[in-house]
Structure 1
């Protein structure tokens, strides 16, 4: 009987929930029973999932131009990725150990892939992109549509006005609705991927190998956002209708403000990558034998991966399920024994109990402020760079993907190394967070002054929200009958004056200069230009184009310093709550940052950007996309929002340090002032009992 019990205990200690492991002869040798293979597959899946989730941010300005969206609407579209995710993430604790986790991860990944395909649907159901406001059957008249033709009559505007029909508006609403639905499904599909994958690895990996596997997982997946921006940089170089190019080709270049890149192609590639990465999950078992051997190179790789652990605290993977009786009281542990209704009733009480911890609440608020800054920067930084420095969307994405994202990863790793190597306690973790936030704030101050004012645009006032009026245009084009809704900008480089169309510059002819690699379009006989031209097509280049690299260097260094606070802030959260509530506290932290930061921040930044617009494109009487911004106001408000959130983070961390210092003083006072009863017992005790009592 003793031998039988011993065998039973040995069989149950390495499997979750205390179930007896099957006999070796019952386990068929299969490559899918390897936790190392699962770590590899999950790393690739999370990389592809983060790539498809972040791809919209890299092409946000292109989607605005293609479908006539304001920045507020596009920010709301980006935020809808978090709606489905936030609504369901709480129930992961409830369903965590009741389901076939690999299979549910596979279903979620398939849903993510379908959502990516759904995002491409608006491209295929919409008409080809018309950048010149003319119909396809009027191709011979394209070049004359924006020229100064004194004999032009009012019916020439009919094609533009005739396109405003109920069908056009219904098609626009359908396209926008499809994109919002796709973003919601994308959030829903990503719910089970990360939590179930991490718990599956932690359950079946060797206790000593689990931190190494998780470190590898996080290191690989952090490359996903960088790949999203890199993919956006490559795809936006291609014309949007590359699959249905007109016979005569197009006369646009990627520097033209009317250029729209192939935004949809990136979603197609990312969805295919997610679908391929999801396939192995349908063959992994619900449970596999727990890994028996420790990896020999574990310590070396752990030092490189910098998985943060604080001295005196065992990592979660090394704590046995039954090692702590108090841990069984946590919601994450008792969730499998509750019904759905009981889980919903218990969750608010545990949430309020967790939020009563001042350290936890203040650290989460600081992370909310930092996440709000990151969310706004990740969504609209490419668009900001396009307008502020007159660079293409492709180049803006390549700068972010090759500079900002890698330095952010370096910051996260550096924070983990500092916590691990220096064995930082709560007080020093707070000091490290405060220094990182303070230096990030100081590096953001010069950004207010790196940029230029908007160059002069004929007929458009510099007050945001104003529309061009005929009286505001120069008198040299009074006889031209220029349509106000056309957009084909030309630039007079000598005077640095931009005109909305060649017609507004009084140009009557068009000249194409052929070169070996490209052709350049010029407009001549322009009555509003001294000497009559010719003037090149396209917007005027910014006088501050050379400042884009210093600007991005400061932004990237600030992002790296902000990311240094990532690991020590998590350690403060784990030290600020009860031991049995640690698992739930991290879940609550993720939920609050989604609800308070990642959902509202893109909308807030988009609304602030819209308030700086000086000329809106109109579509059927409604505001569509902004064509020109007051660049000084845009810079001050965009960087000002970043400064506001950084200041909020710094203020919360100062309060955290004040509370930690007060707690240290109280603990020191209790340790140095013994109670009278204890002092009396020490005096009455004999010399032989002194060591024992002194130790107490």
Structure 2
């Protein structure tokens, strides 16, 4: 019995030893795999560090030629050369883009004030805003093609100077015409002169003969100036946008391209927020800041200092335009990578690239034809065209829409437009760039998400039709509630049909026929003239 037990115990001991040995062998194999993996990772890291050290040595010993030298003229040196990096360029490119977007949003935020000050109909303002698109359509491609083979940062600076000219030209109407008599009459300094002129004028014509507009449109000179400024914008914007993207594509590593480009777009999207906030700040000041207005900002007759923001934007833009011009034709890191690539190329390939780099109209046609045959690019371009066709006018007139629909001041409508929508746009851009860099989804997934986002955006825009104030949508609320016993709606519309009352001053009057109707101006009531009686009261008929 004991021997049997001993033999069984012995066999059990052998089994345990075998299992223990197998476990040790498995653990050793796993440890060996982990060690080999760690060695491979360490070898990769060491290899990367070694490559970085070699690239750094090549960069430090690289001859500073005119193509990689940062600065020009007497503004150059070793200290300045340290800033010739892709990170600094992306930062400056984003800041410049922010100033451009600030200028565009500032123009949008001041449109209602410009239309009111110079009596520009909205249809004319729409034509003015097409000036930059006309230049882009006619000269955008040849300008970008020619400048793309030259010193890109300096040509970007030239384009930015055209946009600076756009900003300064927008201030010219104020320099030429000043604040206007109507605005000056609403100040303490000039109100006595205004009242004395009213006392001398006993008869005033509000509407000329039937079929003639009673309130004529403003002079064409301010409209022509604004249109020429838009042409300047059209010349400068492709030089900045297209050349900047090409410069980043040439000089930034592909692994860092998504995050750096999204970072630059994030900075650019802060520009519209700043532009609308600047418009709100400027429009909150009277058009002549040195004078004391007798009305508040909520008064429909209020005119803000729309011209002041253009000076601020022009100064900031000119400063950073000079900074971008200091960058070399290509960054030193790009020159190092290009040097290593050239060592592996044969002479035939080098000569072929030199021929392709030469500027010619024939080469431009070939390049343009190659782009037209790219189906994905063409579909994306057509989609962008429809996007611009619908979204740009919507966003341009959004401040005016909020101002008119919800009866708020021009400064408040600009502040709402800039802060709410564009902040979320900026957050979306920076988060999407980080997501694409880390996850790297397929192109099909990105395209599907873009379609989904577009559909949600369209549904959100259509929801605006369900929002608003009932009185703001009611035509009778603008001209007074018409009593069917004394007037009919048809008579009311035909009464002032020949009078263009869009630019009439806010001057509410009451009817004298017992209906207790109030109109926002004599023109809206259909009055053709006004008289000042002996007792000083004013009667419109």
TM-score range, shorter chain: 0.5 to 0.7
How far 1:289 sits from its partner (Å)? 1.6
Partner of residue 322, structure 2: 279
Distance 1:65 1:171, change over 3 A: closer
Partner of residue 264, structure 1: 307
- CA–CA distance in structure 1, aligned partners of residues 105 and 300 of structure 2: 24
Partner of residue 506, structure 2: 488
TM-score, normalised relative to structure 1? 0.53
Q: Aligned residue pairs: how many? A: 440
How far 1:226 sits from its partner (Å)? 1.4
TM-score, normalised relative to structure 2? 0.67
How far 1:114 sits from its partner (Å)? 2.1
Note the alpha carbon deviations across 1:143-175, whole angstroms, 9 max, x for none. 5888xx9x9854x449x99xxxxxxx9992222
* Mean Cα deviation higher: 100-109 or 119-128: 100-109
How far 1:205 sits from its partner (Å)? 4.3
How far 1:382 sits from its partner (Å)? 0.8
**Which of 219, 223, 226 pairs up with 2:273?**
226
SS at match of 1:391: coil
Note the alpha carbon deviations across 1:254-302, whole angstroms, 9 max, x for none. 21222221111111110011011122234333344216999xxxxxxxx
Distance 1:400 1:348, change over 3 A: same
Distance 1:215 1:323, change over 3 A: farther
**Pair 1:182 & 2:225 matched:** no
Partner of residue 499, structure 1: 520
8 Å Cα contact 1:230/1:398 also seen in 2 = yes
Partner of residue 517, structure 1: none
- CA–CA distance in structure 1, aligned partners of residues 391 and 345 of structure 2: 38
Partner of residue 390, structure 2: 373
**Which of 438, 453, 456 pairs up with 1:436?**
453
How far 1:57 sits from its partner (Å)? 1.0
Distance 1:456 1:42, change over 3 A: closer
8 Å Cα contact 1:108/1:193 also seen in 2 = yes
Correspondences of 1:96-111 after superposition (within 5 Å): 96=147, 98-111=149-162
8 Å Cα contact 1:116/1:267 also seen in 2 = yes
How far 1:208 sits from its partner (Å)? 4.4
- 5+ unaligned residues in a row in structure 1: which ranges? 1-9, 162-168, 295-316, 473-482, 510-523, 529-696
Partner of residue 73, structure 1: 124
Structure number, greater radius of gyration: 2
**Which of 28, 31, 36 pairs up with 2:80?**
31
SS at match of 1:274: helix
**Pair 1:22 & 2:63 matched:** yes
- 5+ unaligned residues in a row in structure 2: which ranges? 1-53, 70-76, 209-215, 483-487
**Which of 175, 180, 195 pairs up with 2:242?**
195
- CA–CA distance in structure 2, aligned partners of residues 484 and 92 of structure 1: 41
**Which of 108, 111, 123 pairs up with 1:57?**
108
Distance 1:43 1:66, change over 3 A: same
SS at match of 2:238: coil
**Which of 287, 290, 305 pairs up with 2:333?**
290
8 Å Cα contact 1:134/1:142 also seen in 2 = yes
How far 1:351 sits from its partner (Å)? 4.8
How far 1:396 sits from its partner (Å)? 0.5
Note the alpha carbon deviations across 1:62-119, whole angstroms, 9 max, x for none. 1111111111111222232333344333235533553222222222222221221111
Partner of residue 657, structure 1: none
How far 1:438 sits from its partner (Å)? 2.8
**Pair 1:84 & 2:135 matched:** yes
**Which of 190, 194, 198 pairs up with 1:142?**
194
